[in-house]
Structure 1
Amino acid sequence: MATIIPKSLPLVRTVTPALQFLRFRGKINIQRPKEPHYERARVIAVTQPKYPEPPKAVTCFRTRAQRTQHQLDNPYNEIIAREVRNWLDHSKLVAIFHLNSITADEVFRVRVQLYKQNLHLKSYGRKIIGQAVEGTRYEAILPLFHSNHCIIFSPDQQKISALLKITRKVPQMVLLGGIVEETMLSRNELMAYAQMPSLQAAQAQLVQTLNQAAGHLVQQLQTHQNNFVQVLDVHAKGENKKESAVDETQEKL
């Protein structure tokens, strides 16, 4: 046996494994990973957790109109609606504009110019406007609020000339109509109203006309009396001249 097994070779041979690193050829897609093997997919499907379905509320069986009905009962909307109603009740001039595409900076500049003339630019949603004017005498203005809009309030109805002068420089604001002293006016009627004189000027013209009529009537009534007085005055002066002439002649004699 000694001659069969060489002495230079060990009895137990150890083998050292060789490691070789290989790079994956394809690029791993994280968003769309490769589907797992069929057996693994079955295991994943079986081990998938299942949660009980939450019970459905009563609102899930309501219609869209019934679900949105509660939005009208919003306390904040009621506060804003009362504010709109207060503006309508205490404003002698209300102008409604259709608002086209406009930047916030331009709206701010227009609001500042209007505020200097005691004109207040406001903007509200159509639901709030409807809630504010429903069942009131202002309900006729509701069809003007189907699109983007803005409202201008003023306690002085004579500011309509300044309003038209300022908004004429802003083509994005289109005048639709307004309310002047609780009277609904169209765009043409508002422009015609702006060309009318102020209330004080109209009152002064009326007083002047009445005074002229009264003075003319008094003048006509006193015409005959004045003529009679003038005739008597001339006659009296003629008599005085005759008497003075007689006196002079007597003195000479």
Structure 2
Amino acid sequence: MAALSSGGAPWRRGWLPALQFVRRGSKAVTRHWKAMHFQRQKLMAVTEYLAPRPAVPPRCLTPRKERVEEEDNGYARLLRRQVEEVFRDNRMIAVCQYNSMPDEDVVLMRHYLRKHNIEVKFVLNEIVRPVLSQSKYKNLLPLFVARNILLVSPELKAKEMLRVLKGVPQINLLGACIDNTILSKQGVENLAKLPSLEVSQGQTVGALAVLPSQTSSLLQRGSAYLTALLDEHIRQLQARETGSPSEPAPAQSSGAH
């Protein structure tokens, strides 16, 4: 210990640190760049995201996309043409709201409706609305707001249609166009309560036949009464000439009493 404290080299004796001027606000650099561990480099390389490359170059996809759009437009035109034919070739077009139902029930409903010559048409609003907006059926546009189906028939089958729809609660009748006349649901129900065309024609013919018969009887009543009066007058004249008392006519005797 004495050797360390006395004599020897200067660095062995006690020493004071040199003065250093440090700028206020500066920070010492404690982090230095360090190479990434080899295992970490392999993990980062394996987990790096690689965007999938298209199987076909983009320059080859552009004509195909245009061709698909043309095909879609052609298909839409075909569907619109079919809707126009439906409204042109059928006397009864009923618009119904379609709710989801099993396929078996849909097949059964179509079978019962087909017995009465009523067809079910599934349509899209984006196809029907442009067609109706340019036709005389534009007042039907408010009905096409959800998933709809059309019940069409070349004949007037409102009563049969309501009878089938009564057993299918998933199908709600919204309105109809019958013989170029737009009817509400209540109007269709009132139309179904009317008698058939043949019965109505028979009732009309009977009512028209009653009026001529009554008119004919009224016209003949005056001439018959006049004839009876003339016969009675002639009988009285003949009785005066012969001097025999004339028998009173039934009408006169009844008037005397």
TM-score scaled by length of structure 1: 0.65
Q: Which structure 1 residue ranges, 5 or more long, are not aligned?
A: 1-34, 60-66, 247-253
Give the 3-state SS of the residue equivalent to 2:150 in structure 1. strand
- Is 1:166 aligned with 2:168? no
Q: Equivalences for 1:124-163 in 2 at 5 Å?
A: 124-157=123-156, 159-163=157-161
> Who is 1:94 aligned against?
93
CA distance in 2, matches of 1:97, 1:197: 24
1:119-178 superposed Cα distances (whole Å, 9 cap, x missing partner): 111111111212332311122222222212211001112x11011011101111111100
1:194-229 superposed Cα distances (whole Å, 9 cap, x missing partner): 111222322222222222122212211111111223
Give the 3-state SS of the residue equivalent to 1:151 in structure 2. strand
Q: Equivalences for 1:191-230 in 2 at 5 Å?
A: 191-230=189-228
Give the 3-state SS of the residue equivalent to 1:185 in structure 2. strand
> Who is 1:249 aligned against?
none
Give the 3-state SS of the residue equivalent to 1:222 in structure 2. helix
Q: 1:113/1:49 Cα in 2 relative to 1: closer, same or farther (>3 Å)?
A: closer
Question: Aligned AA for 1:134?
Answer: S
Question: Aligned AA for 1:200?
Answer: E
> Who is 1:23 aligned against?
none
Q: 1:236/1:136 Cα in 2 relative to 1: closer, same or farther (>3 Å)?
A: same
**Higher relative contact order by CA 8 Å / sep ≥ 6: 1 or 2?**
1
Q: Equivalences for 1:73-88 in 2 at 5 Å?
A: 74-88=73-87
Q: 1:51/1:174 Cα in 2 relative to 1: closer, same or farther (>3 Å)?
A: closer
Q: 1:241/1:49 Cα in 2 relative to 1: closer, same or farther (>3 Å)?
A: closer
> Who is 1:184 aligned against?
182
> Who is 1:175 aligned against?
173
Runs of 4+ more than 3 Å apart: 38-46, 48-52, 54-57, 70-73, 230-242
Question: Aligned AA for 1:226?
Answer: A
CA distance in 2, matches of 1:224, 1:122: 65
Q: Considering only aligned residues, what root-mean-square deviation do their CA atoms show, in Å? A: 3.8
Give the number of equivalent residue pairs: 200
- Is 1:37 aligned with 2:33? no
Q: Which structure 2 residue ranges, 5 or more long, are not aligned?
A: 1-36, 245-257
Q: 1:39/1:217 Cα in 2 relative to 1: closer, same or farther (>3 Å)?
A: closer
